[in-house]
A and B are shown apart, each in its own frame.
Chain A
Amino acid sequence: MNKAEILIIDDEAQIRKLLEITLQSNNYTVNQADNAKNGLITAENHPPDMIILDLGLPDDDGQSVLKKLREWYTNPVLILSVKNNEEDIISALDNGANDYLVKPFRTGELLARIRSALRNSAVEEGDTTITCGEISIDLEARTIKKNNESIKLTATEYRLLSLLAKNEGKVLTHQYLLREVWGPGYINQSQYLRVFIAQLRKKIETDANRPEYIITESGIGYRFISKEE
């Protein structure tokens, strides 16, 4: 069993209790801190495999804690916050958060996000194939298969899909995708992204209108998820 260690930085005792029970019963080891200062000290003394960070801490802004962590900490950081506006979410992702979940949240959803974040950080640079549910991507041959049937993609579609799939489970912002796939001059051309996402969905989703792989995060970006095992 994996015994990944997760540090919770949240000032609300109720949330910490809920997370502790949820995570421990799913075989994670849990550490806790109730403010920014303790959180940073605990993380430094004993670097966890993952950190769950609240944005509204009593002694410091969560975004600045995130920036301080990212100066040295490379494992996943998941933001768990009541703030649900797009600016906060985008700046948390820009500041290096791997994922963002808004309170109130479903514990099933939280566990899925934790699993995929930990799985992602375990992906090695040298991996040449990515498999997500029925879809497999061969990064060397640059081919995509769904249920072992080849899917023909254009060059741009391939770049977009492989970028999403390499970051499975993680929200990639519109700006990030536009910059990586089309180039820095295109970061405001979100309609390009919409077109290619729609085309990709037609090719890989069973029902393009009810996508199961490429999920929209309204106003923020897209997330590629593999159907739960």
Chain B
Amino acid sequence: MDTAFRKIDIDAYDEDAFLESELFEPDPRSPAHVLNDAKQKQTSVRSLLAKGDTAGALASALEGAPYGPGVDEAKNLTLQSVVSILNSTKSTEIPNVVRSLSQDAQDTLMKYLYKGMGLPGWGDVSGSVLLGWHEKLTEAAGTGCIVRAMTDRRTV
């Protein structure tokens, strides 16, 4: 059976198509501003990590995470910061760190965990570390947190 018709972009013929950009509120910050924020975050995360404040570093990295189109560089920087925190946390500390996060931060962290799992071998992303965090985060925030990470179109 010919299945080529399934590949036709039917939205191209629909004047009133529902666009990706209508799925979420755009970031009020400009892309340059977002990038600047991400760079500043990276520095502050490093200094917090140096002090041994993992929870503070993670909360700071996850706050105001870049989302939406046109901010790929900021997204990469933030992912790097988050991954470096995740990698440097002792596995016994994870439950406490996860519990100390706000609901917003927990949801954002879940998005980064899934993003990391989708990029095996990117930077120093390690599957086993991410799975360890995923388990503890799900215990603390429930399956609802996973559902939100999948539902939210503000992809990080």
A and B together in one complex: no
Q: Which residues of B contact A (CB under 8 A)?
A: none
Q: Which residues of A contact B (CB under 8 A)?
A: none
